[in-house]
Amino acid sequence: MTKTVQRLRRSQADRSAAARAALVTAAIRVLSEQGFARATSVAIAGQAGLSTGALHHHFATKEDLFIAVLDDVTARVNALFADLREEQSADDDFAATLIKSLWSVYGEGAYWSVWEINIGWRSDKGLCKQLAVHRRSSRDRMNATIRRNSFLSDRTKNTLLALLPFILSAMRGMFLETFATREEPFFRGQLDILAGLLKGRLNEAATAPHQSHVAANK
């Protein structure tokens, strides 16, 4: 294979990836700002500056595009878990930093796209089943990312894995509150509670081996 052909293929792959990313971004915006009913192929393609033919070239169905929207959220959260570092500076707080980072994904307006998809698909049993499978797959990918993070101790990994379902469920519920209010003190208070819970569990996990050792020597 010549270098010219290789460059052409890379260029085509780059253009395809850029088009797919543009369509996902456009779908998120249309879903978040206009709602599920108005998130038509025409509206999404227009938002992306592409034709509907281009949309269906990259995504066979609109449902495939919406799954890509959900994948985009999972990828963003996975990136946060991959970048976690247990050793923080003296002025930083691991639990508070993690909760704040997660809220930067689950608390922003673009997260409406996820709710719109869930609500829009709720009456279709086949799509509901697809959502359930996707939710389990996303959770498994997040858990795997945490387990692979060599910068976290086993105690911290186990604590995160145990609390993560509750933390994410709480944040999803908190996000619905943004529909009624955007009062920052309210959300800061709720996030502080989550951070305090996580920090307390992490401290318990850190002292548990010492306590067991002391008890065994009494």
Task: Dump pLDDT digits (tens) for 96-109.
Answer: 999 999 999 999 88
Q: Is residue 87 a contact partner of residue 156, using CB atoms and an 8 Å limit?
A: no
SS3 string of the chain? CCHHHHHHHHHHHHHHHHHHHHHHHHHHHHHHHHCCCCCCHHHHHHHHCCCHHHHHHHCCCHHHHHHHHHHHHHHHHHHHHHCCCCCCCCCCCHHHHHHHHHHHHHCCHHHHHHHHHHHHCCCCHHHHHHHHHHHHHHHHHHHHHHHHCCCCCHHHHHHHHHHHHHHHHHHHHHHHHCCCCCCHHHHHHHHHHHHHHHHHHHHHHHHHHHHHHHHHCC
Report pLDDT for 3.
Answer: 59
Q: Region 190-206: what's the mean pLDDT?
A: 93
Q: How confident is the model at residue 209 (pLDDT cuts 50, 70, 90)?
A: low
Task: Express each pLDDT in 19-75 by its tens digit.
Answer: 999 999 999 999 999 999 999 999 999 999 999 999 999 999 999 999 999 999 999
Report pLDDT for 83.
Answer: 94
Q: Region 145-152: what's the mean pLDDT?
A: 96
Percent of the chain residues topping a pLDDT of 70: 89
**Model pTM score:** 0.85
Task: Express each pLDDT in 114-131 by its tens digit.
Answer: 999 999 999 999 999 999
Token pair 């359930």 is found at 132
**Top-confidence residue, 27 or 86:** 27
What is the residue-averaged pLDDT of the chain?
89
